Structure 1
Amino acid sequence: MSVGEAVETEPRRRPGRALSFGLIVTAVLLLLFGVPWWTLVWSGNRWPTAVFAAGTVVSAALAAAFPVLMFSGHGRQHRDGPARVADTLLGIVWVLFVWSILGNLLRLALTLAGVEDPVRSRVVTAVVALVALVLLLWGYAEAMRVPRVRQVDVLLPRLGSGLDGLRVVLLTDTHYGPINRAKWSRGVTEVVNSLDADVVAHTGDIADGEVAQRREQAAPLGDIRAKLARVYVTGNHEYFSGAQRWVEHMAALGWEALHNRHLVVSRNGSDLIVAGVDDRTAAGSGVPGHHMDHAAALRGTDENLPVLLLAHQPQQITGAVAHGVDLQISGHTHGGQIWPFHYLVRLDQPVLQGLSRHGERTQLYTSRGTGFWGPPFRVFAPSEITLLVLRSR
């Protein structure tokens, strides 16, 4: 999940579209960098000329460099150095932008209290800078830690008694990327293996980069243990970086790639269909044979058996409801990752996180994600390794 995500295609270039895109990017950059500049540098601070000039030059330079770094780091070449700088800068400027806006509430209170500039503006600047610093340090620690386990019991009325208590561990959005998290990945594997899972599922966005670039970070996935099945579906980010190669690599690591297909797990005389569909962006990616197809995933199944469906995005719940799925498990949203980005996520997705019901039969569990995309920060949106305990009664 990222700002401005799109399917990796080769669209016909149109001058008007390019101009519109350029204007939108410029407007966003002016807001993201301009609002913190106004709060911290200009406003009514009345800083000495040298301080004002230095702050202005730094703000302008960062705003100009940011799109260059972002496209260089997250373009087709996936250059890790520029990507690390761009991602970190994005997180910093987003937090400063948000709290610069909220700082105006303090400015209003100080105005009503009769506090004049430059004291008023300098107090606002100090508070905004301090809050942003604390949140960024805390957010970095939250992003880089091995996630806590979140256990959720899910009642599935059609689940056979022999599968009561089935333990499904959900990983999603690991986003192995420019920051090498091989040690973190091994820590995740250790936690998963301590949970005595029957089924382990990964619902996509394994990495930002090709298999060859992220092989070391993804390697611990091969050591994850499950009694009945290890299953995986693609996320939208696979379609930026070799989706079919990731499908093949996960198969090489011993995972079942549920590429619009299913398998059946059995215990004590009861059966559960475990199905998966490609991400909803797959059809437009240009990758041959990749598209979201619920009918193909469930073809040949017994309609009396309960269905657990892996689908990367909560928005794919519409197809799950139409095909009588009992439980869909998803990721993609990251729980918003950096507050208050979750308001923008909700414009695109029906659910932000947690267990929800859709229609008479279908439930959806949306994980906040195991890793993080881009900015190495999580603010008020902790990561998770999810343990879903399926109950028949």
Structure 2
Amino acid sequence: MAPKIAIALVLLIASQFHFWSRLSSGSVFAPEFPRPLVILFNWVFGAIVLLAVFQAALDLAGLAARIGGIASGDWIEARYCIAVAAFALAGVGVGQAVRVPRLREVTVTIPNLPAAFEGYTLVQLTDLHISRLFPAIWTRAVVDATNRLGADLIVVTGDVIDGSVADRRQDVEPLRDLRAADGIYLIPGNHEYLSGYDAWMAHLASLGMRVLANAHSVITRGSAKLILAGVTDPSARGAGKPLPDLDEALAGSPPNGPVVLLDHEPGRARKAAERGVALQLSGHTHGGMIMGLDRIVARANGGFVSGRYAVGDMTLYVNNGTGIWPGFALRLGKPSELTRITLRRGDD
């Protein structure tokens, strides 16, 4: 009896993970526990979620068996098996979520790409969620891995942090060392608006990142031009900040250069394609985190969740994320990624 009570107590405490997070920091988005405890919470909380799904599936199977006249019993052995499976899979999922991501190579063909930009490389970082779960040592490893790629340009497509500048200052400090010939550009994601937008934009800019909030920059190679544009996030509404405005972002840009758009959320991709954008880079979805769950996440994001999509004449790439939200850090079949994108010329 005592072991069962102990297990029940552990599960009860873990099931309230987000409540404890709110107590620790005032927000479910930034648990301020030691990293091993955040990992432990994610493991047990994730196992509870998976176990609930498995139990529901087993109960439905039992109901179907009874309706079909098949004696099913209580399936006690099966219930123990799915409990073990839930904890094992959650452990794998947390391990996949917290690792330094592996490189993913993506090639994008742009019909009107100037010859001078043939083979141009960008590294996309997104959804780092730098936090107690992804502290300075992890950030340093990501920065070092990124710099080794020698990209022409580095873009960061939102959700860099979870927590205040005061809490995350040391954890984001390694970002100062990101290096690319044409610079490092950043757009805000929804979590920046939850963590002190103005303070974070100023601090990230002080680390050497150029913020594209409904703005653009022109990358040149001789007389050839590539337009890099960035928009804000719809979460800006709750913070009283400017909403995403692609027209404003492109105002005054050269008329003959292909546009690469940074937009944290992929759901507006069709509007970007109609506006003539050549390539949109997004994140936000974490790839759906778990196979099966990704179909639900896609429905909430215009049908886009992970990888490459052809949207009219535009290519949309939805990055699975460099990190993940520390409140549900599981990945099963949807790995994190450090993404190098190479531009190639296509037929005009």
Judged with a 3 Å threshold, the aligned counterparts in structure 2 of structure 1 residues 133 and 76 are, in CA distance, closer, same or farther, namely: closer
Q: Does the 8 A contact of 2:159 with 2:192 survive in 1? A: yes
Q: Does the 8 A contact of 2:123 with 2:153 survive in 1? A: yes
Structure 1 CA distance for aligned equivalents of residues 192 and 233 of structure 2 = 9
SS class of match (2:179): coil
SS class of match (2:75): helix
Structure 2 CA distance for aligned equivalents of residues 58 and 193 of structure 1 = 42
Judged with a 3 Å threshold, the aligned counterparts in structure 2 of structure 1 residues 168 and 94 are, in CA distance, closer, same or farther, namely: same
| Structure 1 unaligned blocks of 5 or more | 1-48
1:219 is matched with 173
Structure 2 CA distance for aligned equivalents of residues 218 and 60 of structure 1 = 33
Q: Does the 8 A contact of 1:156 with 1:390 survive in 2? A: yes
Shift of residue 52, structure 1, vs aligned partner: 6.8
Amino acid across the alignment from 1:265: I
**Aligned residues between the structures:** 339
2:335 is matched with 382
1:363 is matched with 315
Deviation digits for residues 165-221 of structure 1 (CA, Å, limit 9, x no counterpart)? 000100000001232521111111111111110010000001111122112221111
Structure 1 CA distance for aligned equivalents of residues 263 and 20 of structure 2 = 32
Q: Does the 8 A contact of 2:289 with 2:332 survive in 1? A: yes
Judged with a 3 Å threshold, the aligned counterparts in structure 2 of structure 1 residues 110 and 73 are, in CA distance, closer, same or farther, namely: farther
Out of 58, 67, 70, the position equivalent to 1:103 is 58
Out of 1, 23, 35, the position equivalent to 1:72 is 23
Question: With structure 1 as the length reference, what TM-score do the two structures score?
Answer: 0.78
2:157 is matched with 203
Is residue 352 of structure 1 aligned with residue 305 of structure 2? yes
Q: Does the 8 A contact of 2:218 with 2:228 survive in 1? A: yes
Alignment of 1:22-33 (within 5 A): none
Amino acid across the alignment from 2:322: T
1:42 is matched with none
Judged with a 3 Å threshold, the aligned counterparts in structure 2 of structure 1 residues 384 and 58 are, in CA distance, closer, same or farther, namely: closer
Shift of residue 229, structure 1, vs aligned partner: 2.0
Alignment of 1:24-173 (within 5 A): 63=15, 65-66=16-17, 68-73=19-24, 75-76=26-27, 78=30, 80-81=32-33, 84=38, 87-104=42-59, 117=73, 121-173=75-127
1:43 is matched with none
Structure 1 CA distance for aligned equivalents of residues 277 and 18 of structure 2 = 42
Structure 1 outlier segments of 4+, above 4 Å:
49-63, 76-79, 85-89, 104-116
Judged with a 3 Å threshold, the aligned counterparts in structure 2 of structure 1 residues 319 and 72 are, in CA distance, closer, same or farther, namely: farther
Structure 2 CA distance for aligned equivalents of residues 150 and 167 of structure 1 = 13
Judged with a 3 Å threshold, the aligned counterparts in structure 2 of structure 1 residues 104 and 203 are, in CA distance, closer, same or farther, namely: same
Q: Does the 8 A contact of 1:283 with 1:291 survive in 2? A: yes
Question: With structure 2 as the length reference, what TM-score do the two structures score?
Answer: 0.88
2:219 is matched with 265
SS class of match (2:200): helix
Q: Does the 8 A contact of 2:44 with 2:87 survive in 1? A: no
Alignment of 1:170-181 (within 5 A): 170-181=124-135
Structure 2 CA distance for aligned equivalents of residues 59 and 140 of structure 1 = 17
SS class of match (2:33): helix
SS class of match (2:317): strand
Judged with a 3 Å threshold, the aligned counterparts in structure 2 of structure 1 residues 143 and 56 are, in CA distance, closer, same or farther, namely: closer
2:290 is matched with 338
Amino acid across the alignment from 2:52: F
1:326 is matched with 278
Q: Does the 8 A contact of 1:106 with 1:124 survive in 2? A: no
Deviates more, 1:362-371 or 1:178-187: 178-187
Judged with a 3 Å threshold, the aligned counterparts in structure 2 of structure 1 residues 98 and 73 are, in CA distance, closer, same or farther, namely: farther
Shift of residue 349, structure 1, vs aligned partner: 0.6
1:279 is matched with 233
Q: Does the 8 A contact of 1:89 with 1:375 survive in 2? A: no
Judged with a 3 Å threshold, the aligned counterparts in structure 2 of structure 1 residues 79 and 195 are, in CA distance, closer, same or farther, namely: closer
Judged with a 3 Å threshold, the aligned counterparts in structure 2 of structure 1 residues 134 and 115 are, in CA distance, closer, same or farther, namely: farther
RMSD, aligned α-carbons:
2.7
Structure 2 CA distance for aligned equivalents of residues 89 and 54 of structure 1 = 14
Judged with a 3 Å threshold, the aligned counterparts in structure 2 of structure 1 residues 58 and 136 are, in CA distance, closer, same or farther, namely: closer
Structure 2 CA distance for aligned equivalents of residues 100 and 392 of structure 1 = 51
Judged with a 3 Å threshold, the aligned counterparts in structure 2 of structure 1 residues 147 and 271 are, in CA distance, closer, same or farther, namely: same
Structure 2 CA distance for aligned equivalents of residues 183 and 66 of structure 1 = 24
2:247 is matched with 295
Shift of residue 274, structure 1, vs aligned partner: 0.5
Structure 2 CA distance for aligned equivalents of residues 248 and 67 of structure 1 = 29
Structure 2 CA distance for aligned equivalents of residues 385 and 66 of structure 1 = 29
Judged with a 3 Å threshold, the aligned counterparts in structure 2 of structure 1 residues 79 and 337 are, in CA distance, closer, same or farther, namely: closer
Judged with a 3 Å threshold, the aligned counterparts in structure 2 of structure 1 residues 125 and 305 are, in CA distance, closer, same or farther, namely: same
